[in-house]
Amino acid sequence: MLDWAIDIAFYTGSACFVAAGLMALRHLRGNCGDTLKPAARVLLAGAALLLVTLVFRGVKWGMMPLTTTVDALSLFGLLTAVIMVYVVRKENAPAMLCFYAPPLAAACLINAAVAHDALHTSPRELQGLPLTLHVGTVFLAYALFFLASMTSAAYLFQAHRLKHRKTTGLFQRLPSLEQLDRTLWRLVRYGYPLFVATLALGFVWAWFDDQLLEARWWLAPKVIMSCAMVVFYGALFHLRRHGGLRGPKLSYLMLVGFVALLLAYFALDLLHLRDYNFWEGGA
């Protein structure tokens, strides 16, 4: 019975994300009435259903389900959707959904396509609240980085259209460059410290608990990549604040950085290098 409920909640939730993405794409084709307001509602419905999926899986296995890719992407999807709708409403910029919703829909579609077996397998147990918090909040930081990157894409689109004198269509419905820059900056300003704090929490915990990870966990590709990300975003953070890095260059770096991070994660996943025992010869 619970398996059925998990399936229904997960696939309906994923379908909601895909529908919202399609509605946002429909808006790109021209002003076809108000498709964005319903898209935001559908996104929230999808987020609620993914939350239900996680709760049901938690009830079924008696632990917080955060370690499988399906669970991780579901958590990422629901956090992103909620923050997305909040940002769009706060900034009064519904057209931003055209940049936010379709890539999220694509991620959810891929997740749904490969989820069937993983949905009914047990997640690995996270030992203790700090680790659960660490894993949970890291996805919150990823959601903020994802939205910052999509805001960068919107900025680049607007700046390009403005430079090339193409000022009709979606250009007219998107917010000003200044507003996009402010939104981008805010997302990074919340995302970066959260990411650093989350990582620090994981480091401290792994350092003091010898049994938790392998001996040289701090040399694992995943850890090195996370540190590289901290340095990269830290550099952007600093340059934005003190070096006057703003506008298209900042947006471009933000977008490229996130895409590189995403590709690196996929590469690690494909090469089975996501564990912490890389130097012990395991995979």
Residue 121 interacts with other proteins (CB under 8 A)?
no
Stretch that binds other proteins, among 46-54, 67-75, 97-105, 159-167 (CB under 8 A): 159-167
Tokens 């919703």, residue located: 101
Residue 273 interacts with other proteins (CB under 8 A)?
no
Please name which of 48, 60, 51, 46 lies closest in space to residue 4, comparing C-alpha atoms.
60
The residue among 218 and 252 lying less far from other proteins, judged by its C-beta, is: 252
Q: What angle do CA 78, 83, 84 make, to 5 degrees?
A: 95
Amino acid, res. 10? F
The residue among 238 and 249 lying less far from other proteins, judged by its C-beta, is: 249
**Dihedral sign, Cα of residue 89, residue 190, residue 71, residue 254:** positive
- DSSP per-residue string spanning 49-64: HHHHHHHHHHHHHTS-
d(CA 31, CA 63): 46
The nearest distance, CB 182 to other proteins, in angstroms, is 7
The residue among 121 and 172 lying less far from other proteins, judged by its C-beta, is: 172
- DSSP per-residue string spanning 40-108: HHHHHHHHHHHHHHHHHHHHHHTS---SSHHHHHHHHHHHHHHHHHHHHHHTT-GGGHHHHHHHHHHHH
Residue 272 interacts with other proteins (CB under 8 A)?
no
Residue 37 interacts with other proteins (CB under 8 A)?
no
Amino acid, res. 11? Y
* Of 122, 167, 227, 263, the one binding other proteins by CB under 8 A: 167
* Of 4, 163, 210, 211, the one binding other proteins by CB under 8 A: 163
Binding mask 47-86 for other proteins (x = CB under 8 A): ----------------------------------------
The residues in 229-258 that bind other proteins, with binding defined as CB under 8 A, are 244-249
* Of 1, 30, 129, 208, the one binding other proteins by CB under 8 A: 30
The nearest distance, CB 252 to other proteins, in angstroms, is 10
Please name which of 79, 93, 78, 260 lies closest in space to residue 183, comparing C-alpha atoms.
93
Question: Where on the chain is the footprint of other proteins (CB under 8 A)?
Answer: 30-34, 158, 162-163, 165-169, 171-172, 175-179, 182, 244-249
